[in-house]
Amino acid sequence: MYSDRIDEFFSDQLCEWELAKLNYSQLNKVKTREFSFGTFEIFVQFNPGRIRSSAAKVDPKSIGERPCFLCRRNRPKEQRDLNLENKLSILVNPYPIFSRHLTIPSDIHTDQRIRSNFDIMLSLAEIMHSYTVFYNGPQCGASAPDHFHFQAGNRGFMPIEKDFTNGMNASLLIADHGIEIWKWIAYLRGIISLKGNDRKKLVEVFGSVFDKFAEFQPENPEPMLNILVEFSSDEWIVHIIPRKKHRPSQFYREDSTQLLISPAAVDLGGAIITPREEDFLMITKGDIEDIFTQVCFDEEEIAEILKGIL
């Protein structure tokens, strides 16, 4: 099984690669704060190793001037890869959020795009069923928008997984021949979730959501999306999180009220990462509400996207 091969590969890398070993061992000491929103919780993780990602410059000029860290020739010599089908490779992420955190880049240097690659994401989740596979769009979280990649983290870490299962904030809109479409209520961020075992149908519905949403953001190379996929009990669960903005206003403040938070799939999955301790200590429940509201769509706007699809 792939999951076993990945676990073995992961353990081998931690033995061979000092930096990865050190960073994963430090993860045990990471500090967290929990915030309750009544029917769900969000936690904040203080993780200094993530500064590279949170503060990454992703404008075309900065991207063009740096060596791409996902291209094989630029990777650290200790970082081995596990080849998959579909011209992807699994790498151990040396700056982890999860106790098992993988980066899954394409073998070739090509733009971050999901429309024609969503099917691959489903395949990955299926073979890596102890992981949640996630995608950050080129303009909303990917720190290598020029090199197509997914990431994956061990399941059971992000609150959204259990929030979906316990059903307090997710509401079923439609169930039709092997696919369910869900929306979220009073969850601070608008999300469309799909569940089912019919791959073809999931790809089709995802395509419809994507195309509809693209009409809202015609100026972008693709509509801004974060996506999480897990495979459990022979079904896929897909959370599509449409985005309005890459970073909230707090990120750009130049005084002591700045919060260096750059939300992507994991943060919106309920695990907010703060690379700086001052932000970890300062952030309030109100800040979280405000940040999520700025960067995500609300329920009415999600309903608008879903119009015509249902």
Residues that bind Zn ion (CB under 5 A): 68, 70-71, 109, 147
Nearer to Zn ion, 51 or 63 (CB): 63
CA 125/CA 118 separation, integer angstroms: 11
Q: How far is the CB of 275 from Zn ion (least distance, A)?
A: 23
* Measured distance CA(84)–CA(28) in Å, rounded: 29
CB of 112 to Zn ion, least distance (A): 10
- As a whole number of angstroms, the distance between CA 227 and CA 137 comes to 8
Give 147 or 155: the residue with its C-beta nearer to Zn ion.
Answer: 147
Residue closer to Zn ion by CB (options 109, 246) is 109
Shortest approach of Zn ion to residue 69 CB, angstroms? 8
Residue 109 near residue 63 (C-beta atoms within 8 A): no
Q: Among residues 118, 121, 56, which one has the least CA distance to residue 273?
A: 56
The nearer residue to Zn ion, 146 or 230, going by C-beta atoms, is 146
Q: Which of these, 104, 126, 308, 106, lies nearest to 199 by C-alpha position?
A: 126
Shortest distance in whole angstroms from residue 105 CB to Zn ion: 7
| DSSP symbol at 142 | -
Q: Which residue is nearest to Zn ion (CB)?
A: 68
Minimum separation from the CB atom of position 250 to Zn ion (A): 31
User: Could you tell me which of 129, 116, 91, 99 has the C-alpha nearest to residue 3?
Assistant: 129
Q: What angle do CA 93, 199, 202 make, to 5 degrees?
A: 85
CB 246, CB 225: distance < 8 Å:
no
Q: Kindly tell me which of 31 and 66 has the beta carbon lying closer to Zn ion.
A: 66
Identity of the residue, 56 or 71, whose beta carbon is nearer to Zn ion in the bound complex = 71
Phi/psi of residue 216, each to 5°?
-80, -25
As measured in angstroms, the least distance from the Cβ of 49 to Zn ion is: 21
Specify which residues 236 forms β-bridges with.
196, 231
